[in-house]
Amino acid sequence: MKNLTLEIIRLSLTFEGLMETNQVLHEISLNIAPKEKVALVGESGSGKSVTARLILGLLQSRAKTKIQGAIRFEGQEFGWITEKERDQLRGTRMSMIFQDPVSALNPVYNIETQFHEVLRRKYPLITRRQVRKEAIKILEDVHIVHPERVLKSFPFQLSGGMNQRVMIAMGLINKPTLLIADEPGTALDVTVQDQTLHLMQEMVAKRETSVFLISHNLGVVREFSDRLYVIYQGRIVEEGKTEDVFADPRHPYTKALLAAVPGITSGNTIADVINDTSAFRAPKEVH
């Protein structure tokens, strides 16, 4: 049997501060098969981003952290590989696209240099010329009309939408088997966010990449995932094929989430529901 792309097994996470401890994940288990698009949906503060960061090995915290459970990537358990090997996986076999492309890109290097950095992780000896060739090819795939010009630009010289395309291109250039997208584009306006998601969908369809889509927005999840997990206060409370969960939500929290989106069950378009995210936002966004 082919390995699952990702397996999270009873993963718990606790932040141990000086004054208090805060358990933010409670034995969550989930898996993603090759080529599958799986969503993790829940309101702000429910533990979505910490899950993504644990998978990528990017969790940073001033507080001490206690982690239990296991993460397996393509059959390999993270507990058994070295930091260096783990580091090597990032940007090569798994990559991430973020909410805000501008802060994820490096402001002091032009786009070409940043493509070079990314490609060098997989091909340490790659030449400048090969970088340019590969980068232009993938920038064309994300429908950028003047790729040479974009390569010479710095992130601040490009629009939010352009940066987002660049980000998707960089995330996929090394042909990762898993793409993690944490609220992609939500820092940008709704139209750009929608374009971002469609572009991501188009790109992964060509490449047969698995996607782990993290979102507080049920409209987005319905359109862009095959299967979903609902997370509530650090616990997975429901899982299933996306269409089944929408047709027949089981957990009261999922029902409440669905009920909170006006018209979500009556066939509204994504553009209608995407505008109403107020129901899922706690007063303060935590990322």
Burial bucket for residue 82 (CB in 10 Å: 0-12, 13-18, 19+) = exposed
Minimum distance, C-beta of residue 190 to ligand ADP, in the bound complex (Å): 19
DSSP string, 104-127: HS-TTS-HHHHHHHHHHHH-TT--
What is the distance, to the nearest Å, from the Cα of residue 134 to the centroid of all Cα atoms in its chain?
23
The reply to whether 53 sits near Mg ion by the rule CB under 5 A is no
Minimum distance, C-beta of residue 244 to ligand ADP, in the bound complex (Å): 23
Identify which of residues 30 and 144 has a Cβ nearer to Mg ion in the complex.
Answer: 30
Binding-site partner at residue 176 among Mg ion, ligand ADP, none, CB < 5 to 8 Å by type: none
Which residue in the set 26, 90, 235, 287 belongs to the binding site for Mg ion (CB under 5 A)?
287
Identify which of residues 48 and 222 has a Cβ nearer to Mg ion in the complex.
Answer: 48
Task: Give, for 178, the enclosing helix (H) or strand (E).
Answer: strand 178-182
Binding-site partner at residue 15 among Mg ion, ligand ADP, none, CB < 5 to 8 Å by type: ligand ADP
Radius of gyration of the chain (CA): 19
Binding residues for ligand ADP (CB under 6 A): 15, 24, 42, 44-50, 61, 63, 286-287
For 175, residues 6+ apart whose C-beta sits below 8 A from its C-beta are 207, 209
Minimum distance, C-beta of residue 45 to Mg ion, in the bound complex (Å): 8
Please count the other Cβ atoms lying within 10 Å of the Cβ belonging to residue 208. Answer: 10
Identify which of residues 132 and 287 has a Cβ nearer to Mg ion in the complex.
Answer: 287
Minimum distance, C-beta of residue 234 to ligand ADP, in the bound complex (Å): 7
Helix (H, G, I), strand (E, B) or coil at 23: strand
Q: Which residues bind Mg ion (CB under 5 A)?
A: 48-49, 287
